[in-house]
Chains A and B, each alone.
Chain A
């Protein structure tokens, strides 16, 4: 496979991701506009939605990687340990290969026996790559190099920024959904005790809030599907980029094979952090299945498809090899 095909793959992925984000923003705008249009509420809903979205984005951007790192129990590596020293060397190598400066800091999850890794941080000045202890034990130098290149690509491509913005917007929709249903319930409870005169106004407000809530539910659902789609595209892109950096697609492919054949889940990973990892840390069945629903709801592409792309084989053949 030539170098150029990696670049092509990457460009295609970037375009697709931009399109997805564009689509998401249109959806959000459309949501605010729909409410304002049908209920003649002026610009108020748009303003409130934007305010909620802004707060979400700020919280996402400001809370930073330390929260994620502490939630999985990660610690800085110790360069005196030969295995950790090797990891540090590999990161330096990938820094030279990618030209990325400054390099991310390296953490590991002690006692975590599954094979996995993730990157976090919106800017390379404040980025972290974290691996499990199991990864250090199970993977050889070339395989580790492939995984680190994959994680570095996420930072290089500013994937965390896209993902954080997307999940912030999604969070905003969920907040609106909850607020609307709570509001409807509140009006129903307090409004019931008042005089007959107000009851039609009350009913109107309840119907209005329920409609808003239902709309938000639909948009949260669509938004989640989009978020997953972006997440999957980003994984393919990081694989392609890792192959470009290392010029050794086999290293990452072989690491993915080892990951596919081990069963362990990452103990402290949650749904909130799952999309960060190189392969689904929860080992959810949906991520390895094919079909319409599996395609919509998985954070990661099926691992055999990723291996197939890296090795230039057909997915069916890789699946057969893995099942042996």
Chain B
């Protein structure tokens, strides 16, 4: 009789633990989805900002047509990217192109003095930071989730309900890691 109660008690305890673990996974999954949506919001904000920025600096930067074209092309590619790996790749290229533009603007005192341009530049810098912090927050959550998913005994519950490891937002293009280079010989 006592043995039966012990077995029953153990089953109940395991069930409670299983439910708690399952809920833990669900909470983390929602948080990851939410973080991903946050990245999306920031990326859209960047798409909207770029045309304004390019228009307002175009007049000052006649000799930097190449830098501007790079930005415009990269934006077009990023907007049209369909799959997630493509998207990550295209956004990386866009980030790189924008950093190049930011670095070049530093060399135009007229530009920096213009209130319109400096406001747009601050907005751009802000958007760039928001994207990288959103990505950081997303990756941190993915790490917590994936770690939990791979560690015993939580992984038993994870496998039972077929939770899949989430994908990190890796920095795809190697050049995105590099500091932007500025060619001073042109000036």
Contacts and interface: CB of A to CB of B under 8 A. Distances in A.
B137 A86 contact: no
Given A82-B118, A82-B119, A93 B137 contact: no
Contact of B126 (A93, A97, A98, A99): A93
B122 A97 contact: no
Interface in B111-153: 115, 118-119, 122-123, 125-126, 129-130, 133-134, 136-137
Contacts of A99: 35, 137
Nearest to B135: A96
Interface in A74-91: 82, 85-86, 89-90
A270 interface: no
A85 B130 contact: no
Contact of B130 (A86, A96, A247): A96
A283 interface: no
Contacts of A94: 133
A177 B119 CA distance: 57
B67 interface: no
A92 B126 contact: yes
B121 to A, nearest CB: 10
Contacts of B122: 82, 85-86, 89
B125 A97 contact: no
Contacts of B118: 82
Given A89-B126, A92-B126, A97 B119 contact: no
Interface residues of B, number: 16
A141 interface: yes
A141 B134 contact: no
B133 A96 contact: yes
A23 B63 CA distance: 68
B21 interface: no
Given A82-B118, A82-B119, A96 B134 contact: yes
B38 interface: yes
A274 to B, nearest CB: 31
Contacts of B42: 96
A96 B125 contact: no
A96 B137 CA distance: 7
A93 B130 contact: yes
Contacts of A92: 126, 130
Interface residues of A, number: 16
Interface string B10-43: 0000000000000000000000000100100010
Contacts of A245: 133
B38 to A, nearest CB: 7
A96 B38 contact: yes
Nearest to B39: A96
Most buried by B among A85, A89, A141: A89
Contacts of A85: 119, 122
A244 to B, nearest CB: 9
Contacts of B130: 92-93, 96
Given A82-B118, A82-B119, A86-B122, A247 B136 contact: yes
Contacts of B123: 89
B28 to A, nearest CB: 13
A154 to B, nearest CB: 19
Nearest to B125: A141
Contacts of A247: 136
Nearest to B123: A89
A141 B125 CA distance: 10
Contact of B136 (A86, A90, A97, A141): A97
Nearest to B127: A89
Contacts of B129: 89, 93, 145
A100 to B, nearest CB: 10
Contacts of A97: 133, 136-137
B171 to A, nearest CB: 13
A86 B130 CA distance: 13
Interface string B167-186: 00000000000000000000
Nearest 3 pairs between A and B by C-beta?
Answer: A97-B133, A89-B126, A96-B133
Interface of B: 35, 38, 42, 115, 118-119, 122-123, 125-126, 129-130, 133-134, 136-137
19 contacts: A82-B115, A82-B119, A82-B122, A85-B119, A86-B122, A86-B126, A89-B122, A89-B123, A89-B126, A90-B126, A93-B130, A94-B133, A96-B133, A97-B136, A97-B137, A99-B35, A99-B137, A141-B125, A145-B129
